[in-house]
Amino acid sequence: MRDSVGSVRTVLLLGGRSEIGLAVVERLVRDGAREVVLAARGGTAAPSVLTALGATVHSLEFDARAPDTHTATVERAVGLVGDLDVVVDSFGVLGEQADYEADPASAARAAAVNYTGHVSVGLAVAARLREQGHGALVVVSSVAGVRVRRFNFVYGSAKAGLDGFAQGLADSLHGSGARVLVVRPGYVPTRMSAHVEPAPFPATPGQVADAVAAGLRSGATTVWAPRVLQPVFAGMRLMPRALWRRLGR
């Protein structure tokens, strides 16, 4: 973090229109952050709540599908606000499994956004944080990647890859002063998930943001939202595959 008491001054949101990501940014601004960069394809307008809270908000072009631009995107964010105290990685797409099976090329494009885009930008962010000697990368994963279900296995498998990548990246940063916080939310009702049937133990974007803020304060490596999902999925990992297959329909 930026100062001796661990407060956050600057925040970069990769996925500048993400409802979960914006909720996290708002929470950090309420806690004292004052410089925000919202990075999204085509840029994005500053939400009035952030400016009303006293934050200076910058907009930046970011395309998850263009990995060769990601290092430059991080450098531009640094040029706008200086050292990056918290980077929130919260972009992705959630399509329909049936559509992916009917159009494998579209499945590959979605997987590129949901996994490989995070790899390139995550490595670029990690290099910057390592150079700074401080800062946190918050990676919004999903319980969908903890054990992949057949009804959304294209999305779930990408999240499983992202989750593993984030954990490995965290280990690579150990001792550098920088760190990674992996966030595993369950079902969160947002525009992106509007077509998905609600699941047990839902969380609001605000509740995910609260979990992230608590994890940053405590030095956690992983947070679940809600917390009850951690023991639930511990049990699901042990479930016989035949039973899991039936539940995953």
pLDDT band at 3 (very low <50, low <70, confident <90, very high): very low
Q: Which residues of 101-125 are buried (b: 16+ CB within 10 A; e: fewer)?
A: eeeeebbeebbbbbbbbbbbbbbbb
Select from 182, 56, 49, 160 the least CA-distant residue to 114: 160
Question: Phi/psi of residue 239, each to 5°?
Answer: -70, 135
pLDDT digits over 100-150, tens only?
999 999 999 999 999 999 999 999 999 999 999 999 999 999 998 988 888
- pLDDT given for residue 234 in this prediction: 86
Select from 169, 213, 216, 166 the least CA-distant residue to 20: 213
The one catalytic residue in 100, 115, 155, 187 is 155
Select from 67, 69, 164 the least CA-distant residue to 116: 67
| Mean pLDDT of the chain, nearest integer | 91
Question: Phi/psi of residue 233, each to 5°?
Answer: -80, -20
Instruction: Read off the pLDDT of each residue in 142-171 and give the average, rounded to a whole number.
Output: 93
Select from 158, 160, 162 the least CA-distant residue to 119: 162
Sign of CA dihedral 226, 230, 232, 236: positive
- pLDDT given for residue 230 in this prediction: 87
Where do the domains of the chain lie?
10-247
Q: Are residues 44 and 16 in contact, defined by beta-carbon separation less than 8 angstroms?
A: yes
**pLDDT of 243 over the 90 cut:** no
pLDDT band at 12 (very low <50, low <70, confident <90, very high): very high
Residue in the block written with tokens 């992916």: 100
Beta bridge partners of 57: 36
Domain 10-247 fold is Rossmann fold (3.40.50)
- pLDDT given for residue 6 in this prediction: 60
- pLDDT given for residue 238 in this prediction: 78
Q: Are residues 8 and 32 in contact, defined by beta-carbon separation less than 8 angstroms?
A: yes
**pLDDT of 39 over the 50 cut:** yes
- pLDDT given for residue 7 in this prediction: 82
pLDDT digits over 171-227, tens only?
999 999 999 999 999 888 677 665 766 666 788 999 999 999 999 999 999 999 999
Percent of all residues in the chain with a pLDDT value above 70, rounded to a whole number: 93
**pLDDT of 169 over the 90 cut:** yes
**pLDDT of 80 over the 50 cut:** yes
- pLDDT given for residue 244 in this prediction: 73
Q: Is 155 a catalytic residue?
A: yes
- pLDDT given for residue 192 in this prediction: 64
Higher pLDDT, 54 or 240: 54
DSSP secondary structure letter of residue 176: S
Instruction: Read off the pLDDT of each residue in 92-98 and give the average, rounded to a whole number.
Output: 90
